[in-house]
Amino acid sequence: DIPKCALQCFISSLNNDGCKSETDFQCHCSKGNILAAASPCVRKECNEGDEEEALDVVGAACRAAGVNLGDGGDGQMSPTPSPDRPNRNPSENPTGAPAPSTPFTISRQPTSFEPHPRTTSTFLLPSPT
């Protein structure tokens, strides 16, 4: 699961990146560039350990959606490094074997203009090794 400190950062990114569906991680990770969009907020709201966990979980969701975060394209894994937080590279599965999956859930609280009380999306992500 995404650490609570980062949840609103990613929800905001999901809702404002131009993708048609909250569950379209292929769009969020490439066109929407969710990691780059949410990283400044996550860095501000979370400690370093939670920030790394949040980026790892969402990075795994992007990889599961078929977006290669290491290709230098639109979907970048790491936020811009700063003196107080050096750049981190995503961990790769060294064996190349698929990792077991874990659920990833994003719940969104309603806003004043939404007709439905709450939206919940669940994704199946590979577990970090």
Furthest-apart CA pair in the chain: how many Å? 48
Residues 6+ apart with CB under 8 A from 112: none
Q: Is 90 left (phi over 0), alpha (psi -120 to 50) or beta?
A: beta
Distance CA(115)–CA(94), nearest Å, equals 46
The DSSP H or E segment spanning 37 is: helix 34-45
Is 24 annotated to bind a ligand? Reply is: yes
Binding positions for heme are 24
Binding positions are 24
